[in-house]
Amino acid sequence: MKDILEKLDGRRAAAKLGGGDKRGATQHERGKLTARERIELLLDKGSFEEFDMFVEHRSTEFGMEKTKVPGDGVVTGWGTVNGRKVFVFAKDFTVFGGSLSETHAQKIVKIQDMALKARAPIIGLYDAGGARIQEGVAALAGYSYVFRRNVQASGVIPQISVIMGPCAGGDVYSPAMTDFIFMVRETSYMFVTGPDVVRTVTKSSIADGAYDNDVEALLQMRRLIDFLPSNNADGVPQWPSFDDIERVDLSLDTLIPDNPNKPYDIKELILKVVDEGDFFEVAEAFAKNIVTGFGRIAGRTVGFVANQPMVLAGVLDSDASRKAARFVRFCDAFNIPIVTFVDVPGFLPGTAQEYGGLIKHGAKLLFAYSQCTVPLVTVITRKAYGGAFDVMASKEIGADMNYAWPTAQIAVMGAKGAVEIIFRQDMSDPDKIAARTREYEDRFLSPFIAAERGYVDDVIMPHSTRKRIARALAMLRDKKVETPAKKHDNLPL
C-alpha cells in the first residue's frame, strides 16, 4: 500500500514540475510567475483543487510520443476567492509554450462545463503560443469547442481573461469573447497572426486594464471577483460596509465650477458616493471621456457610468459609446444596478466621427440602456444636451429614478449654438445676441423646466447624492420588468 501512495506522490510531484525547473527559472527571469504560482496567488490559500493533472497529449507526429508532460501545458481546477467559488485554468508556458493540443483543449472544456454547471465565474490565465503546431486540425477543433462554450456561458457566469505572457493565434479569440481582458505591462502581448505584436492593447479597447506585474494583476482580479455576482441568477454579493448610507458630503456642493466650460473630475463624485471610496475602474485607459466601473452602496455592487468633463469635455464619441454600451450590457446581464452621472455636451461633431460610424456606435449605448431591466438611477450634474440627454439613461428610455443637481442644464444644445441658429438674423448686432443668449440661458439652462414636467423626478442637493442614490436603490431592489418574448435582440453591431 505504501508503494502505491508513494507512486501517487511521485506522479503528482512530476506533474507539478511542468516543463522542468530550468524553464520555470526562465519564467522568473522574464518577470513572470509559473502557472501554479499564479493560481496560488489568485485563490484563497489552500483552496485549489486541481483536475486532470495526469492528462498527456496523444500526438505521435514529429516524434511527439517521446515528449509527454503530465498536465499537457494547462493547469485547471477550482478554488475560492474570499470564500466564493471560482474556476480557473492557467496556461503553463513551460510545457510546449502553453500551446493548445487536443487534450489540453479537453481540459479547458471540462472546466468551462463545470463552471457553467456550478454557476460560478471562470478565470483564464494566458501565457501561450496558440495552436500546438504539431497537432494540426485536432488543435484547431479544440479551440472551436472552447469558443462555443465561451458563447454559451456568456451572460450566465462572469468570464475573465488575464494575459500574462504571449497570447497568440487561437488563444486570443477565447479572451475576446469573455467579459473582461486584463494584461500585465511589459510581459504580455497579443497577436492573431504574424509577428505584429500588440503590446498596448488597453488603448485599443481590447483590454479592460493593465497592471505592472503578475502579483498586482492577480490581487486586482481577487478585488474584481469581490464585486461580481457568481452568475446571472444569484444577484450581487453583499459585503459588510461601515460607510453610513446617510453620509452627506458638503464638498460636492462646490464640485461644479462657476464657469460652465471649466472641467472637473467626475471620479471625485464617484469616489465620494461609493462605500469607503472603493471603486474598480474598467477600461480606464480607453475612451477616457466616459468612466465605467464598479463600486458599492450599502455593501452591494453598483455599476457606474459617468461622462468625464476632464477629457473632451465629456462628449460622447464612437469609442465612449462602445465602451459604455458593453459595460451597461454586462451589468444588465448580471443584475447589477447602474448609476449614471451625466455631464455631456452632446455627441462629438465632425466627419471623422460620422464616417467612423458614430450613428451605429452611439446606437449601441442607446440600445444597451433601453433594454436594461436592472435598476437605473441617473443624476445630471451639469450638461445634458441634445441626443446625449436621451442616451445617457434618461427616464424616457427606461431609467427608474432621475435626479438633477441645481447646476444641471437640460437643453437641445448650449446657449451659443442655439442663439446662432434661432436668432441668425440678429448675428450682426452683438447687444441683441447677448440679450438673446441670456434669455436662452435663463429659460433653458436649468433643471427646472425638466422638473416641472416630470422628466426628472427631483432636483437634489449635491451633498445628499449618496443618500438619495442609496434610498433609490433600496426602493428598486425587487424591480421586475416584463419584456416581450424573443429569440434574441438585434443589437446594432
Residue with cell 414636467: 453
Stretch that binds ligand HXC, among 94-102, 178-186, 210-218, 301-309 (CB under 6 A): 94-102
77 or 166: CB nearest ligand HXC: 166
Q: Which of 142, 170, 295, 462 binds ligand HXC (CB under 6 A)?
A: 170
* Shortest separation between residue 8's beta carbon and ligand HXC, angstroms: 28
For residues 287 and 320, the answer to whether their CB atoms sit within 8 Å is yes
Q: Which of 78, 87, 89, 96 binds ligand HXC (CB under 6 A)?
A: 96
Does 168 interact with ligand HXC (rule: CB under 6 A)?
Answer: yes
* Shortest separation between residue 170's beta carbon and ligand HXC, angstroms: 3
Q: Three-state secondary structure along the chain?
A: CHHHHHHHHHHHHHHHCCCCHHHHHHHHHCCCCCHHHHHHHHCCCCCCEEECCCCCCCCCHHHHHHCCCCCCCEEEEEEEECCEEEEEEEECCCCHHHCECHHHHHHHHHHHHHHHHHCCCEEEEEEECCECHHHCHHHHHHHHHHHHHHHHHCCCCCEEEEEEEEEEHHHHHHHHCCCEEEEECCCCEEECCCCCCECCHHHHCCCCEEECCHHHHHHHHHHHHHHCCCCCCCCCCECCCCCCCCCCCHHHHHCCCCCCCCCCCHHHHHHHHCHHHCCEEECCCCCCCEEEEEEEECCEEEEEEEECCCCHHHCECHHHHHHHHHHHHHHHHCCCCEEEEEEECCECCCHHHHHCCHHHHHHHHHHHHHCCCCCEEEEEEEEEEHHHHHHCCCHHHCCCEEEECCCCEEECCCHHHHHHHHCHHHCCCHHHHHHHHHHHHHHHCCCHHHHHCCCCCEECCHHHHHHHHHHHHHHCCCCCCCCCCCCCCCCCC
**End-to-end Cα, the chain, rounded Å:** 61
143 or 294: CB nearest ligand HXC: 143
Does 364 interact with ligand HXC (rule: CB under 6 A)?
Answer: no
Point out the catalytic residue in the list 31, 356, 357, 387.
387
Point out the catalytic residue in the list 169, 295, 303, 314.
169
* Shortest separation between residue 129's beta carbon and ligand HXC, angstroms: 2
Q: How far, in Å, CA of 183 to CA of 283, rounded?
A: 11
In the structure grid, which three cell numbers stand for residue 482, read together? 416584463
**Based on C-alpha coordinates, what's the Rg of the chain?**
26
96 or 455: CB nearest ligand HXC: 96
Q: Closest Cα partner for 77 from 103, 112, 104?
A: 112
Stretch that binds ligand HXC, among 128-136, 365-373, 401-409, 429-437 (CB under 6 A): 128-136
Does 177 interact with ligand HXC (rule: CB under 6 A)?
Answer: no
Stretch that binds ligand HXC, among 163-171, 238-246, 371-379, 472-480 (CB under 6 A): 163-171
Does 17 interact with ligand HXC (rule: CB under 6 A)?
Answer: no
* Shortest separation between residue 10's beta carbon and ligand HXC, angstroms: 24
Stretch that binds ligand HXC, among 93-101, 204-212, 235-243, 333-341 (CB under 6 A): 93-101
384 is annotated as an active-site residue: no
Does 140 interact with ligand HXC (rule: CB under 6 A)?
Answer: yes
| Binding residues for ligand HXC, total number by CB under 6 A | 15
Site string for ligand HXC, 32-71 (x = CB under 6 A): ----------------------------------------
* Shortest separation between residue 394's beta carbon and ligand HXC, angstroms: 40
Does 18 interact with ligand HXC (rule: CB under 6 A)?
Answer: no
77 is annotated as an active-site residue: no
Stretch that binds ligand HXC, among 9-17, 165-173, 249-257, 482-490 (CB under 6 A): 165-173
Does 133 interact with ligand HXC (rule: CB under 6 A)?
Answer: yes
19 is annotated as an active-site residue: no
173 or 448: CB nearest ligand HXC: 173
Does 293 interact with ligand HXC (rule: CB under 6 A)?
Answer: no
169 is annotated as an active-site residue: yes
* Shortest separation between residue 143's beta carbon and ligand HXC, angstroms: 4
Q: Which of 142, 169, 309, 386 binds ligand HXC (CB under 6 A)?
A: 169
Near ligand HXC in 98-127, by CB under 6 A: 99
Does 131 interact with ligand HXC (rule: CB under 6 A)?
Answer: yes
Number of other residues whose CB lies within 10 A of the CB of residue 443: 12
Distances 183 to 210, 283, 338, 423, 484 between C-alpha atoms, Å = 5, 11, 26, 53, 39
101 or 318: CB nearest ligand HXC: 101
Point out the catalytic residue in the list 283, 287, 306, 388.
388
* Shortest separation between residue 168's beta carbon and ligand HXC, angstroms: 4
Residues with catalytic function? 169-170, 387-388
Residues in touch with ligand HXC (CB under 6 A): 96-97, 99, 129-133, 140, 143, 166, 168-170, 173
